[in-house]
Amino acid sequence: MKIIIVGAIAGGSTVASQIRRTLPNASITLIGSDSRIGYGSCGMPFVIGGLIEDKEKIGGPNPKRFSETRNIRTLVKHQVTSINRKSKTVEVCNLETNETFQVSYDKLILSTGCHSRVPSLKGLGDLPFFTLKSYADMEEIVRYLDTEKPQSCAVMGGGFIGIELVENFIRRGIQTALILRGNRVMSSMDKEITDVLYEEMKANDVDFYFNDEIERIEGNRLIMKNGVAIKTDFLVASIGVIPNTSLAIESGLTIGVTDGVVVNEYMQTDDPDIYAIGDIAECIDWVTGKPKRVQLAWHAHRQAFIVSSHLADRPVKLNPFLGTTITKLFSLTAGMVGLSEQDLRAEGFDFDTVSHEGRTNAGYYPDHGTILIRVHFDRNTRQILGAQAVGNKGVDKRLDILVTAMMGNMTVDDLAALELSYSPPYSSPKDPINLVGYKANL
């Protein structure tokens, strides 16, 4: 079997490795436009901030060694420019020589990822400007910071990547302004959670410009719509990404309402010989049953396993996605699973919310933390529809318990009965998760 994989970062390099294990005799070709494969995109903000001192630790495997040890033909700095579904071939361009050639396939896997959304601003070229999506983007930012030693910056966008960049610029001693069209950071989460994040950022000297946006750039000044001018050394945009679906569109594959490639539970497109995984794949939401596209590493890795199993005639169906995500912000950790309060209202759910704020472990133990947990549940069935947490210790543990509870179809009341591990350094006789369950019955 001849298998071609287009895109060589998280999903592409992972599916190539997994197919090699499940199909030891397959001919596998991995094609990527970058010079690197399989690098740790999620670690890039922490390299920028210097928390990860050696960028090569997230740099991924050496392409040549990867090719030799796994017997996978690996083409870096190459780009697939077209797909001929009738002849089952792809046209490939060597980006260094501009040479083009064709490669045939039996099965084709698209893992082409996304690219950063760039704002349309008058005067954008007047100021050093960056986005962060690729390893090369990260290297460009680090090089600029190391050589130019800027004192100030502005970040557009307050989502997960935006706030991680803010923290890491602050870590490097750069005065940082955060510019938001809306009225709060992390708008995908509940206001009660984002209020805590805002206070943490304010305590770390982040400057905020809410309900505002850049009208134009004049030299090193950002002229804002609300009339103020922000003087800054450089600008970073983290205002979303656009899926790289041009190949899929040009080859006639169906694009869904999320702008992703429509796939079935085995990651097949409407052409059964073409699969799509990662950022471009439109899957299903666990709570609503509606189309959902998740741009996170866990999901790409899971999809890679689904594809490799299907190709090996050991099919495993992909579950709908909960969209679990977590982030670090200075001394805090925040995460969410399922739908937020605003999402549930928009979808018309009849739901209640239970909150618990308290210690993460025994108060008499020297190293205790605090946590705020919010759980949304169906008013009639008591099924958990979404949950969020923020705190300085143990957030990941509690969030993962709630993920497991949702996937196990537990009710909010069942949380009180969970026999969770207890010792003063780790929890209390009634864990915060147990207390959520008890409070839901009040």
Residue-wise pLDDT for 261-272, tens only, equals 999 999 999 999
Of 121-125, 203-207, 317-321, the one with minimum mean pLDDT is 121-125
Percent of the chain with pLDDT over 70: 100
Handedness of CA 249, 281, 67, 132 (dihedral sign): positive
State pLDDT tens for residues 368-419.
999 999 999 999 999 999 999 999 999 999 999 999 999 999 999 999 999 9
Q: Which of 116, 132, 144 is nearest to 42 (CA)?
A: 132
Identify whether the C-beta of residue 212 lies closer than 8 Å to the C-beta of residue 235: no
Q: How confident is the model at residue 241 (pLDDT cuts 50, 70, 90)?
A: very high
pLDDT at 431: 97
Could you tell me which CATH class the domain 118-237 is placed in?
alpha beta
Q: How confident is the model at residue 441 (pLDDT cuts 50, 70, 90)?
A: confident
Known active-site residue 42: yes
pTM comes to: 0.95
Which residue matches tokens 């472990």?
361
Q: How confident is the model at residue 54 (pLDDT cuts 50, 70, 90)?
A: very high
Percent of the chain with pLDDT over 90: 98
Domain boundaries defined on the chain: 2-115+241-311, 118-237, 331-439
**C-alpha distance from residue 224 to each of 131, 208, 234, 424 (Å):** 20, 13, 15, 51
Phi then psi for residue 375, to 5 deg, are -125, 125
Distance, CA of 340 to CA of 50 (rounded, Å)? 33
pLDDT at 442: 84
Same fold, 2-115+241-311 and 118-237: yes
Residue 251 is given by DSSP the state T
Across 67-87, average pLDDT? 97
CA 37 to chain centre: 18
Query: Which one of the listed residues 42, 114, 153, 283 is annotated catalytic?
Result: 42
Strand 384-391 with 370-378, pairing: antiparallel
CATH architecture of 2-115+241-311: 3-Layer(bba) Sandwich (3.50)
Q: How confident is the model at residue 102 (pLDDT cuts 50, 70, 90)?
A: very high
State pLDDT tens for residues 163-213.
999 999 999 999 999 999 999 999 999 999 999 999 999 999 999 999 999
CATH homologous superfamily for the domain 331-439: FAD/NAD-linked reductase, C-terminal dimerisation domain (3.30.390.30)
Q: How confident is the model at residue 3 (pLDDT cuts 50, 70, 90)?
A: very high
Residue 143 has pLDDT above 90, yes or no: yes
